[in-house]
Amino acid sequence: MAPASYDLVVVSNRLPVDVTVARDGSVSWDRSPGGLVTALEPVMTAEDGAWVGWSGAPGLELEPFDVDEMHLVPVTLSESELEDYYEGFSNDTLWPLYHDVIEPPTFHRQWWEVYRRVNQRFAEVAAQQVAPGGTVWVHDYQLQLVPRMLRELRPDVRIGFFNHIPFPPLELFAQLPWRTAVVEGLLGADLIGFQRQADAQNFVRVVRRLTDLNTRGQMITITDAHGRPARHVRAAAFPIAIDSKKFDELARTPEVQARAKEIRHELGDPEVVLLGVDRLDYTKGIRHRIKAFGELLEDGRLSVPHTTLVQVASPSRENVGAYQQLRDDVELLVGRINGDLGELGHPAVHYLHHSYPMEEMAALYLAADVMLVTALRDGMNLVAKEYVAARSDDQGTLVLSEFAGAADELTSAVLVNPHDIAGLKNAIVYAARIDSREARKRMRRLRRKVLDNDVAKWSEEFLAALAAVPGPGRNDEQENHD
C-alpha cells in the first residue's frame, strides 16, 4: 500500500460502514450508526482524516475507499482471526473482565497470540497512513496494544487512546495473565482517555502496582533505558457525548412526531409506555429490568393494558456463548410474562430483536413515558443521552443505573441500583406515576447537560488535551513515586 499522509488517523476495530458482499462477489456498504461512529463522524468530516478499521466481513480484502468526506482504510481479518481476536479475546476475555466479571472471563493463550498479531496489523496500517508529526487516535479495548506498537514504528506521531468501556479495578484487572503487556501497550499513548474519573484512577493504580513507573496525579512518567524521564502519559476522564443537536432536531420533525403518536396507537394507547433499548448484552441488566416489571404486574402495582414495556434488543455478538445464553434467558422470561400476564392483543412486553434507524429510535423515545437504562456496568450508555436529547417537550422520565458512566453527569435522572430489585420496582412505579411538574424539572436539567456537551466538544477537548501533553525531553522535577 502506498504511504499516505493524513494529519489525523482514527483507528477502531470497526469501520463506520457495514460492508455487504453479494452472491456475485460485488461489494456494497451502508453507513453504520453505532455509538462510536456517531461520536466520531463530525470530527472526521471536519478534519478530512483517515479511518483505519475492519470492514465487518470476514476474509474480505478491500482497497481504501472514500465515504462522504472520510477516507476509509480496511484491515483484513480472516474468519479464524475473528474467532480468536474479536469473539474470543475482545468479547469473551476483555469484555467480561472490564465489566465487573458479570460473566466469567475466559483466558486462552491462543486468543492472546492472535490479539497481539491483529493489533500489530492495525498498528502497521495506521503507521502507513499518518503524516509526519501527525496524530493517531486509537479506540477501545480491542486495540490496547496498538499505541506501543505504533510508537515503535512511528516515534514522531502523537498518539491518543480512548477506552469506551469501563476500566476495571486492580483487583479484577490483575486476573489477566497478560496484564503487564496490556498496560505497556496502552502506555505507548501520550493521552489515555476514559469515560469516568474512576476508570482513569483505576488505570493509574494499575500502573503503580504493575510497573516501576512514577505517577503524579493524572501524569505517568515513562523512563528511558537509563531510568531517566523520557516522556509523559496523561490518564484522564473525557465522558463521551452524542450529536445532541442532531437528535434534538430530528425528534422535532413532523414525521418523527407523527410516528411517535402512531407507535402509541399501535401499542393500544396505553397510559404508560416503558421503554428499554439495548444491544442484547449481559451488561445491560435486561433480565433485571424485565423481572422487576413482571413482578410489578404480578403484585398489581402496574397492570396490562394500562402499562406496557417495549424492549428493543438489537442482535449482538451472536457467536459468543454468553450472548446466546442471554438471548435464551430473555426470550424465556418475556414468553413467561406475556403468557401469564398479557391479554389478547395486549402483550405485557413488546420484545423486538432488531435494530432500527435513527428516525424510528427518535420516535420510540418520544413515545415512551419512562426510559429504563438498568445496566449492571456500562462505560457510558449513549441511549440515556439520546432519550434526553429527543425530549424537547421536556417530558418523559429517565430511570438510570448508577453503574452506567452516564450517571456521573445525569444526576437528575431517577438513579437506581439494578441489583436491588425492590428498589428498582419502586423507581419504575415512581417514574410511571411521577408528578408532571417534577418530571419536567428533572428533564430540563438533564437536557442542559446533554445539549451543552455534544460530541464535537468531546473530540475537540480530547484532541486539544492530546496536543498539550508534555512531549519527549521535557523533565518534571516534582514527580514522586506514590
Contacting residues toward ligand G6P, per CB under 6 A: 13-14, 34-36, 140, 164-165, 316-317
Of 195 and 397, which has the nearer Cβ to ligand G6P? 195
Of 320 and 349, which has the nearer Cβ to ligand G6P? 320
Q: Cβ-closest residue to ligand G6P?
A: 164
Report the C-alpha gap between 426 and 416 in whole angstroms: 9
Tell me the closest approach of the beta carbon of residue 279 to ligand G6P, in angstroms: 6
Tell me the closest approach of the beta carbon of residue 454 to ligand G6P, in angstroms: 18
The one catalytic residue among 71, 139, 164, 288: 164
The one catalytic residue among 278, 369, 378, 454: 378
- Quote the cell numbers at residue 412: 437528575
Query: What would you measure as the largest C-alpha separation in the chain, in angstroms?
Result: 76
Report the C-alpha gap between 323 and 470 in whole angstroms: 43
Of 96 and 134, which has the nearer Cβ to ligand G6P? 96
Helix and strand numbers, DSSP H then E, in the chain = 17, 18
Tell me the closest approach of the beta carbon of residue 34 to ligand G6P, in angstroms: 6
306 classed as catalytic:
no
- Quote the cell numbers at residue 420: 436491588
Tell me the closest approach of the beta carbon of residue 281 to ligand G6P, in angstroms: 8
Burial letters 431-466, b for 16+ CB under 10 A, else e: bbebeeeebbebbeebbebbbebbbbebbeebbebb
Of 232 and 279, which has the nearer Cβ to ligand G6P? 279
Burial of 193 (0-12, 13-18, 19+ CB in 10 A): buried
Please name the residues in contact with 176: beta carbons below 8 A apart, sequence gap of 6 or more: 93, 97, 105, 107, 182
Tell me the closest approach of the beta carbon of residue 31 to ligand G6P, in angstroms: 15
378 classed as catalytic:
yes
Unique residue bearing C-alpha cell 498496560: 183
Of 76 and 223, which has the nearer Cβ to ligand G6P? 76
Report the C-alpha gap between 162 and 235 in whole angstroms: 10
Alpha helices in 211-300 (DSSP H): 244-252, 254-266, 286-299
Please identify every residue annotated as catalytic. 164, 378
